Amino acid sequence: MVHIRFEGRSLDLPETQLGITTGMNDVAVKEQVSRHLDVNANRLSAYVVDRRPSGDVIVRPEAVYG
């Protein structure tokens, strides 16, 4: 499952729907997500790809603390 947080929206999609496969690097994952969202890939440049032990992937804005 891929969880996407983008501009206040939250989406949960299967990897197959996004074309994401095991071993893809962060740039490739963000490119697939940007295609699905129909936005330019540079809009996700400051986003983080977080891979969970369960196998899920989270694409989210970078968190800033402090």
23, part of any domain: yes
List all residues 6 or more positions away from 14 whose beta carbon is below 8 Å from its beta carbon.
1, 2
40, part of any domain: yes
Residue linked to tokens 């999609």: 13
47: containing domain: 2-61
pLDDT score for 15: 96
42, part of any domain: yes
66, part of any domain: no
Predicted model pTM: 0.91
pLDDT score for 22: 87
Number of domains in the chain: 1
| Tens-place pLDDT, residues 5-52 | 999 999 999 999 999 998 899 999 999 999 999 999 999 999 999 999
H helix or E strand, kind and range, residue 17: helix 15-18
Is the pLDDT reported for residue 66 higher than 70?
Answer: no
